[in-house]
């Protein structure tokens, strides 16, 4: 495997995505944080708490606190005031490695490129950090192996506006920079996040046999919050994976059963289409380099998720 950097905005499903990577043998080598579901400080704190839950040491580099051009938005109405839906967190959490995410990305990718190495990146928040790094140093693309993104939509259906998904809508200019770069990219768009879900009772059945422990309480609280949010929006008792879906694609690319290859651009004009991903399989907008997931093996998604809720750090 290539080394892996996780770029995250520290929301409810981000925390579970990180646990999924750790529990399934693809723990990130480093993490960069970004504003998004909550503000940057809360996002970073949530990631540090998640590392404490898993009792694992991974360097966390703090990134952008705001989008390239527009004002900050958040999704506290989805993720709760703390960004983790009030999940119980350990009293102590590790420190960050510094406030140098953009410099860290540049350095790491530059050195990888110079050494003939590639680094994979998984982005599950707004695309601001990588966009800033690419703007300052375009050559770093040659140090990127596979870029995986949870964001955008394949057929124009958004979750934040009718046309735009949150991670893109939160910084459309950054998304345009990233999708405009020459990078082999896999996208988990919003639509398959809606169609790949578990019914609530099946989630309860996964947790029921597990012995009580802080890690279980943490994941259970995240799942409960996610289910309540969906129910609150009239979606019934369902659990959607979302960011863990993208993590699963990194852990086990074979779970993808249907996808399309296209080029992707981002609508930037003000109005109802701002932040919409424009997906072009025809090649008219550029060389198709983006694989957009449409369907995946749900039983593997469930299995990878199950491993991450049962993940118990080795007692010291």
The binding site for ligand BDR (CB under 6 A) comprises 11, 13-14, 37, 75, 78, 124-125, 150, 159, 165-167, 190, 242-243
Closer CB to ligand BDR, 150 or 304, in the complex: 150
> Least CB distance from residue 240 to Ca ion, whole Å?
12
Indicate which single residue of 4, 11, 75, 134 sits in contact with Ca ion (rule: CB under 5 A). 11
User: Tokens at residue 160, please?
Assistant: 């934040």
In the complex, the smallest distance separating the C-beta of residue 13 from ligand BDR, rounded to whole angstroms, is 5
Closest to ligand BDR by CB, 138 vs 155, is 155
Of 154, 186, 157, 196, the C-alpha closest to 305 is 196
Would you count residue 124 as binding Ca ion (CB under 5 A)?
Answer: yes
Contact region with Ca ion (CB under 5 A), list: 111-119, 206-214, 218-226, 242-250? 242-250
Longest dimension (CA), the chain: 57
Q: Does 9 bind Ca ion (CB under 5 A)?
A: yes
What's the closest the beta carbon of residue 205 comes to ligand BDR, in angstroms? Answer: 25
Q: Which does 96 bind (CB under 5 to 8 A by kind): Ca ion, ligand BDR, none?
A: none
The pair of three-digit structure tokens given for residue 101, joined into one six-digit string: 């995410």
Using CB under 5 A, list all residues that contact Ca ion.
Answer: 9, 11, 14, 124-125, 243
């Amino acid at each position: 495997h290539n080394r892996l950097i996780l770029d995250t905005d520290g929301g409810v499903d981000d925390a579970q995505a990180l646990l999924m990577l750790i529990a399934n043998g693809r723990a990130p080598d480093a993490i960069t944080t970004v504003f998004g579901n909550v503000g940057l400080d809360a996002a970073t704190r949530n990631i540090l708490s998640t590392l404490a839950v898993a009792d694992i040491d991974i360097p966390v580099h703090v990134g952008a606190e705001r989008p390239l051009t527009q004002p900050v938005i958040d999704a506290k109405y989805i993720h709760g005031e703390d960004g983790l839906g009030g999940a119980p967190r350990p009293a102590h959490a590790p420190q960050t490695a510094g406030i140098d995410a953009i410099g860290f990305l540049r350095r790491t990718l530059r050195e990888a490129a110079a050494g003939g190495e590639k680094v994979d990146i998984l982005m599950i928040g707004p695309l601001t950090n990588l966009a800033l790094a690419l703007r300052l140093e375009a050559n770093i693309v040659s140090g990127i192996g596979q870029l995986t993104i949870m964001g955008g939509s394949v057929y124009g259906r958004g979750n934040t506006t009718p046309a735009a998904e949150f991670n893109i809508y939160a910084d459309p200019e950054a998304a345009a920079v990233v999708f405009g770069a020459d990078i082999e990219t896999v996208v988990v768009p919003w639509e398959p996040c809606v169609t790949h879900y578990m019914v609530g009772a099946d989630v309860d059945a996964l947790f029921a046999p597990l012995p009580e422990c802080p890690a279980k309480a943490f994941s259970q609280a995240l799942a409960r919050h996610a289910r309540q949010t969906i129910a609150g929006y009239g979606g019934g008792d369902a659990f959607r994976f979302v960011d863990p879906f993208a993590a699963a694609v990194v852990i086990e690319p074979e779970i993808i059963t249907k996808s399309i290859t296209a080029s992707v651009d981002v609508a930037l004009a003000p109005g109802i289409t701002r932040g919409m991903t424009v997906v072009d399989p025809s090649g008219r907008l550029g060389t198709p380099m983006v694989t957009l997931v449409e369907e995946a093996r749900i039983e593997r998604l469930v299995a990878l998720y199950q491993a991450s809720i049962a993940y118990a750090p080795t007692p010291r």
